[in-house]
Amino acid sequence: MPDLPEIDLTDPAVLNDPFTAYGPARERSAIARLHAPGMPPMWGVLRHAEARAMLSDPSRFALSPASYAFRLEVSDDLLPYLHTVQEMEGPNHVRLRKLVAPAFTARRAAEFRPRIEPIVEELLDDLAKQATAGAADLLTHVAQPLPMAVMCELVGIPDEDRPRWLRYGAAISAGAVAEFAAAFSEIVRDAKAAVEARRREPRDDIVSDLVRAHAADGDRLTDVELVALVWLLVLAGQTPSNLIANSVEALLAHPGQLAALRADPGLAPQAVDELIRWCSPQLLTIPRIAAQDVELAGVPIAKGGLVTAVIPAANRDPRVFPDPDTLDITRTGSAAHLGFAHGPHFCLGASFARVQTQVALTALLRRAPGLALAGDVQRAPDGGTWRLAALPVTL
């Protein structure tokens, strides 16, 4: 066994700056051992090429049943709705991805941009009102409500139901497994209602697309699959919340990059990918489990071993990204980042996350020419997610 780095996910150095903390370990080895109290040890893949290879090989590294969904205590009648496309492997996963992928293309996301823009403007109006007396929390007033509002709009959740979905999303964001499990019957009920509403009255939204979706051989999504997909889309679609907040903080810390994006909003698509590379909120991919005794980067991994890609380490791998510790929104090649994972389980909603982050950043910079931090930035101590506890700003 090679002499591998040992990384404690609760180490203050890792919690406070994982991008720097993982660097020396990555240059020492492609693989590290990750530890945290109450969590089984995992193999962490630190380098980009090896991480891509692992994520692209479900025959050797299958999704692990260690994710939260398999630990929820729910009634037997609700269990089928926990089995989402995110948790599947093999033919079932291929079948579902084939059916739903047309609803999540970059073109479809671009078509929804005009519906995202007024949501952003309304939230920025609220931020401006809050900031009239001084500082306002951009996280609370923009970054957190935006993804839920966007996903409810795209999925077709009625306005009167959205406060409940905000509560469900807050439980997910906080990692509150017990609260999420307690609300799961309500989540399934509301997802069923959304599906039935679109069966009766199809509209220009994702649920209507999915209700109509069928393969050339006539295959369609079952009712259970539709409901599971709806709740997953709304609740898993909250990634832009932390991405937007992280991006604003990063731009404010790099005034030259902020000025460049403000001067040329056309840079937004590549700027967002560079910001995902630079400050991705997701630090670890969903664990995979070794389906057999395998070797990865010269390291033997026994059958059953848990393996995860360490995203901040891979996204700053100098073998792929020249001068990786420099934030450069004009960089070419940033889209090779692993912020949305890779392979068969590449994030379905990646195009929508990109578009709403682009819209949010360009609108904010246009409307707030004097945007500045108002005090110290505090982060939530979380070994799995790089996220802020608050982002006080003046406009």
Over residues 91-117, mean pLDDT: 90
Distance set, CA 358 to CA 113, 115, 121, 205 (Å): 10, 14, 13, 20
What tokens does 209 get? 């697309």
* Residues 207-266: tens digit of each pLDDT: 888 888 866 667 888 999 999 989 988 887 777 999 999 999 999 999 999 999 999 999
- pLDDT confidence of residue 70: 46
In this prediction, residue 64 has a pLDDT band, given cuts at 50, 70 and 90, of low
130-139, 167-176, 210-219, 254-263 — which is least confidently predicted?
Answer: 167-176
Closest CA to 339 of 234, 247, 248, 222: 247
Mean pLDDT of the chain: 90
Say which CATH architecture domain 6-394 belongs to. Orthogonal Bundle (1.10)
* Residues 292-319: tens digit of each pLDDT: 999 999 999 999 999 999 999 999 999 9
Neighbours of 93 (CB within 10 A): 17
* Residues 332-389: tens digit of each pLDDT: 999 999 999 999 999 989 999 999 999 999 999 999 999 999 988 888 888 888 999 9
Q: What does the alpha-carbon distance between residue 324 and residue 342 come to, in Å, rounded to a whole number?
A: 20
Distance set, CA 306 to CA 9, 62, 70, 294, 334 (Å): 15, 10, 15, 12, 28
Specify whether the CB–CB gap between 69 and 87 falls below 8 A: yes
Say which residue, 145 or 215, is predicted with more confidence.
145
Whole-prediction pTM value? Answer: 0.92
Beta strands in the chain (DSSP E): 6-8, 31-36, 39-45, 61-63, 136-137, 288-290, 294-296, 299-301, 306-309, 372-373, 378-379, 388-390, 392-394
Structure-derived torsion over alpha carbons of residues 231, 235, 236, 241, reported in degrees to the nearest 10: 160
